[in-house]
Amino acid sequence: MRLIHRTIISLFLLLTFLSVETYAQRNSVQNLPRRDYEKIHFGFVLGANQMFFSIKPYNNFSQIVYDSTYKFDPIICDSLKIYSIESTPTYGFTVGIVSNLRLGKYFDLRFVPSLLFGERYIEYTFHCYKDNKQIDEDFKTNISSTFISLPFTLKYKSKRLNNLRGYVFSGVNFVIDLASNAKKKQNNEDIQIRLKKNDMMLEFGAGFDFYTPFFKFGTEIKIGYGMNDILIRERNVFSAGIDRMNSKIFQLSFTFE
C-alpha cells in the first residue's frame, strides 16, 4: 500500500515539476488576469480515489479463542483464532462541484460537495479447529461505499507566476455513506462487517493551478483521515478482534474553474 502511494505521489510530483518548468520558462501574457479577484466562482472536479481502513486490533487478539457462540459463517469450524486482519486498498472515482469564496489575496474558503464511489476489502487469516485439527483459512470480505462528501477547506495560495500558482489546503470533511449497511439485520449471513453511516474526516493536500485562456485547471493530491470509529461491533469473529477501525481516503483530483 505504501509503495502504491509513493508511486502515485512520485508521478504527481514529476508531472507537476515538468509543468512548472514549462510555465516558468514562458514569459507570456497572463491568462484570466481577473479570475482570482472574483469574490465567488464555481467549477467542477473529477478524480481518482483510493479507499481503505486503518485497523487497530485488540492487544493479544491472536491468542483469543472464539467458540460456537460467535458467528463464523461462511467459515466452517468448531472454534478458531484470528491470526491476522489487514485492509486492502482499492481504486474508485470522484465527481463534484467546486464553490470558492475569496477571503483575501492569498486565502480562499472552498466547499466541494462530491460523490465518491469505491469499495474496500478486509482480509483475514484464521486458525480453524475442527475435529481436533488445525486448518488455516483465508477469507476476504468487500465493503462497497458511496460517499456524499461535504468538505470545507481553507486554501493558501502562493504568488502567481505567469500562468501558474501553487497552493496548500486543509479542512474538515463531513461524510455520509449511502451504501452503509448499518440498518441491515444482524442475522444476515451475507454481511460480515457493518459500518456506521456518518463520519468526519480531517483533510490535507497540495496542488497547482494552471491558467489557460478559457478556464483555470488545477491538479491536486489530498489525504483524508477519519476521526470516528466506524465499526459496528457484533458477536461475530469478523468484528470481535478489532479495537478500532477508521476510514482513510487518498485522492488525486483535477479541477476546472
With bands split at pLDDT 50, 70 and 90, how would you rate the model's confidence at 28? low
What does the pLDDT look like over 141-167, one tens digit per residue? 888 889 999 999 999 998 888 888 999
- Given a cut of 70, whether residue 9 has pLDDT beyond it is no
What does the pLDDT look like over 163-192, one tens digit per residue? 889 999 999 999 999 887 666 555 555 667
**pLDDT, the chain, mean:** 84
Per the structure, how many domains does the chain have?
Answer: 1
What does the pLDDT look like over 60-96, one tens digit per residue? 888 888 888 888 778 888 888 888 899 988 889 999 9
CB 223 within 8 A of CB 250: yes
- Given a cut of 80, whether residue 128 has pLDDT beyond it is yes
Residue 190: the pLDDT is 62
| SS3 at position 47 | strand
- Domain hosting 203: range is 2-256
Per-residue pLDDT, averaged over 116-134, amounts to 88
Q: CATH number for the domain including 212?
A: 2.40.160.20
Q: Around Cβ 22, how many Cβ atoms within 10 Å?
A: 12
| SS3 at position 228 | coil
Q: How far apart, in whole angstroms, are the C-alpha atoms of residue 142 and residue 157?
A: 39
Supply φ then ψ for residue 255, to 5 degrees: -110, 150
Per-residue pLDDT, averaged over 130-151, amounts to 88
Half-sphere exposure of 136 (CA within 13 A, CB side): 5
Tell me which amino acid residue 129 is: Y
Residue with more model confidence, 19 or 56:
56
What is each CA distance from 180 to 79, 214, 222, 224, in whole angstroms?
A: 29, 40, 24, 19
Residue 235: the pLDDT is 84
| SS3 at position 14 | helix
